[in-house]
Structure 1
Amino acid sequence: MQDIVFVVYPGFELLDLAGPTSVFNGANRALSLRSQPPFYKILVVSAAGGPVTSSSGIVLETAAIATLSTKHPATILVVGAEREPLLAAVSDAALREAVPSLAASATRLGSVCTGGFVLASLGLLDGHAVATHWDSSEPLTRTFPQVKVNPDALYVVDGRIWTSAGVTTGIDMALAMVAQDLDATVASEVAKRLVLYARRPGYQSQFSPLLQAQVKGDSPFGELIGWIQSNLDQPLEVPLLAARVGMTERTFHRKFAAATGETPARFVEIARLDAARMLLSRGLSLKSVAAQVGLFPPARLAEAFERRFGIAPRLFRDMHAQL
């Protein structure tokens, strides 16, 4: 079995722990359905051990990090928190003494969300590319200039260093670990069990155009944007979209652009190309992807994809397909 050690401390973000542990436990469940033994053993440790209260008030029982029985943990992940509990963790003498020695023997070392601050404070991320929550990218860069922060990625893998952005992206990173340790089929089974919309690759932006538009758009456009995302294979011309929200074409075009920061046509193209990137990362053919995202024939997809991402879709698929 592979040991997965999570390091927590008072005030930690519960989802940073619960999301990834659900993935690893889900992988064990998927294996059991195949009559195979579990692969992961999940351990949760803290500086002193005993009950540790999360930021949401839920209390978790932990083992003391100094008494960790495993000598060669496969993976160590430090979870994140808001500023005050994080600063306390960075200054905790027990963590500062124990984490480096554990890290030295670990196959994988990483963090979820702002947990990277703990590792960076110990010099364990020096020279490495990392991800963190978008709101913490600038402080991490400023405080630890020797760390190469990618402010956009969902998660970053740099050798044995695995770091993820905010909260739910810990799930994406854990799924990538499962795919590496076992196979992509098991990872996909876990994602399906967790009712995830998709397995998101690390290079995908933290700043989803869909989410940003929903945040900025007023209520009629919030519903419309969800409908657009579910109907990318259909003609999505302005007359149709305007009719769905009961506006004239001219009024719709003006209000949509003001609310979302994009013209309707531009927004639809961005949504289609982001969906195409996701589908290509699964190894689908250009013909299939072009049909699913409404950019048919494939030549139309190729032209738009290369214009937006600077790489041909076929080459992108070959580089990133989750085989």
Structure 2
Amino acid sequence: MHQVAFILYPGFELLDISGPASVFNGANRALGQRGRPAFYKVVPLSAQGGAVDSSSGIALETRPIAELPGKAGTVLVVGAEREPLLQAMADPVLRSMLPRLTAEAGRFGSVCTGGFVLAASGLLDGHRVATHWDACEAFARAFPRVAVEPEALYRAEGRLWTSAGVTTGIDMALAMVAHDLDAGIAGEVAKRLVLYARRPGYQSQFSPLLRAQARGDNPFGDLIGWMQANLDAPLDVPSLAARAGLSERSFHRKFTAATGETPARFVETARLDAARLLLSRGLPLKTVAAQVGLSPAPRFAQAFERRFGITPRLFRDMHMNPPAEADTVG
């Protein structure tokens, strides 16, 4: 079986293992329904073994790293908050055992801030990685030989897989299942876990809508929520200003100050981000263009390629799960 070894330490984030482990268990369940044997075996490991307390107070029983039976197919270091993370980075057992363990594994990586532990052992030098959005600056300062991608949900680079904050470990685990088995099984697991969507690694940790709404002092929070639900509506300055009850000039000035982007740029970014998700579902270009308010399709294709440097058709072919219907633009 493919052993997935999770590296735990006192104060670890419980969801960093429970989320991905549920994905791997779900894949085994889906295989069983097809009359196929289980593929994954989850093995929690720690420096000394025994019960290890998570930050939530729930403890998990672990094996000592040195007693892992056989080789690991995948090794994943979970994340934590600052103090337990610093202790894990300095742990002599982890620093001595991780290089050997990851060298023998078919795949290794981290969930959330677990990348700090790998980087402290020199295992990420020269690589590009994802980590929690709130830790990107600290990571870049601490490990200048590692390139951090603050916008990525997860990143796969050969044997190295790294994910961003907390729940993105689920997204990365689903991508691993799709890679190891097939996209159909990954889709079944996502459905059983009641996930809204299987998020691809290129998707930002924060959409422009969520980033703007997260600012508690943003006076346009309600308007942004309405925009999110009505991307196919007219979202020009006159329409938005009228909805906000402001003059066009006042709206443009105040919206730009609140979000850091002009209304036009903000709207286009929101529409194109939504378009990427719809394209990954295999929808025709005309359908996507209409749903995100960028019709006709040639206008959508031009805006998409200008922003991302790739045609929407090629992007869809690279990322979609179900086959797309025929279309003529892109």
User: Normalization by structure 1: what TM-score?
Assistant: 0.90
Q: Distance in 2 between matches of 1:221 and 1:293?
A: 20
Secondary structure of the corresponding residue to residue 273 of structure 1: helix
The answer for the alignment partner of 1:303 in structure 2 is: 302
Over residues 190-247 of structure 1, what are the superposed CA-to-partner deviations in whole Å (9 max), with x where a residue is unaligned?
Answer: 22222322222212222320111101265774343333223323444556555666x2
Q: Distance in 2 between matches of 1:189 and 1:230?
A: 27
The answer for the alignment partner of 1:210 in structure 2 is: 209
The answer for the alignment partner of 2:10 in structure 1 is: 10
Q: Distance in 2 between matches of 1:234 and 1:149?
A: 36
Which shifted more, 156-165 or 145-154? Answer: 145-154
Which amino acid is the alignment partner of residue 269 of structure 1? E
Secondary structure of the corresponding residue to residue 203 of structure 2: coil
* Gaps in structure 2 of 5+ consecutive residues: 323-330
The answer for the alignment partner of 2:151 in structure 1 is: 152
Could you say if the C-alpha distance between residues 108 and 299 of structure 1 is closer, same or farther in structure 2, counting changes exceeding 3 Å? same
The RMSD of aligned alpha carbons is 2.3
Q: Distance in 2 between matches of 1:255 and 1:37?
A: 59
Structure 1 runs, 4 residues or longer, greater than 6 Å off: none
Could you say if the C-alpha distance between residues 140 and 238 of structure 1 is closer, same or farther in structure 2, counting changes exceeding 3 Å? closer
1:73 and 2:72 aligned: yes
Q: Distance in 2 between matches of 1:195 and 1:271?
A: 24
Which amino acid is the alignment partner of residue 56 of structure 2? S
Which amino acid is the alignment partner of residue 55 of structure 2? S
Q: Distance in 2 between matches of 1:23 and 1:15?
A: 12
* Cα drift, residue 164 of structure 1: 1.0
Q: Distance in 2 between matches of 1:30 and 1:223?
A: 41
Q: Distance in 2 between matches of 1:248 and 1:82?
A: 43
The answer for the alignment partner of 2:327 in structure 1 is: none
Secondary structure of the corresponding residue to residue 45 of structure 2: strand
Checking the alignment, whether the CA contact within 8 Å between 1:90 and 1:117 is kept in structure 2 is yes
Could you say if the C-alpha distance between residues 151 and 266 of structure 1 is closer, same or farther in structure 2, counting changes exceeding 3 Å? closer
Checking the alignment, whether the CA contact within 8 Å between 2:207 and 2:270 is kept in structure 1 is no
How many residue pairs get matched?
321
Could you say if the C-alpha distance between residues 197 and 265 of structure 1 is closer, same or farther in structure 2, counting changes exceeding 3 Å? farther
Q: Distance in 2 between matches of 1:74 and 1:256?
A: 50
Which amino acid is the alignment partner of residue 280 of structure 1? L
Secondary structure of the corresponding residue to residue 109 of structure 2: strand
Over residues 121-140 of structure 1, what are the superposed CA-to-partner deviations in whole Å (9 max), with x where a residue is unaligned?
Answer: 22222222211122322332
Checking the alignment, whether the CA contact within 8 Å between 1:217 and 1:260 is kept in structure 2 is no
* Cα drift, residue 316 of structure 1: 2.5
* Gaps in structure 1 of 5+ consecutive residues: none
Which amino acid is the alignment partner of residue 111 of structure 1? S
* Cα drift, residue 114 of structure 1: 1.4
Which shifted more, 269-278 or 127-136? Answer: 127-136
The answer for the alignment partner of 1:33 in structure 2 is: 33
Checking the alignment, whether the CA contact within 8 Å between 2:48 and 2:64 is kept in structure 1 is yes
The answer for the alignment partner of 1:189 in structure 2 is: 188
* Cα drift, residue 175 of structure 1: 1.1
Q: Distance in 1 between matches of 2:62 and 2:243?
A: 53
Q: Percent identity?
A: 70
Instruction: Please give the residue correspondences for 1:307-318 in structure 2 after superposition, counting only pairs within 5 Å.
Output: 307-318=306-317
Over residues 171-204 of structure 1, what are the superposed CA-to-partner deviations in whole Å (9 max), with x where a residue is unaligned?
Answer: 1111110110111122122222223222222122
Instruction: Please give the residue correspondences for 1:70-109 in structure 2 after superposition, counting only pairs within 5 Å.
Output: 71-109=70-108
Which amino acid is the alignment partner of residue 276 of structure 2? R
Checking the alignment, whether the CA contact within 8 Å between 1:28 and 1:39 is kept in structure 2 is yes
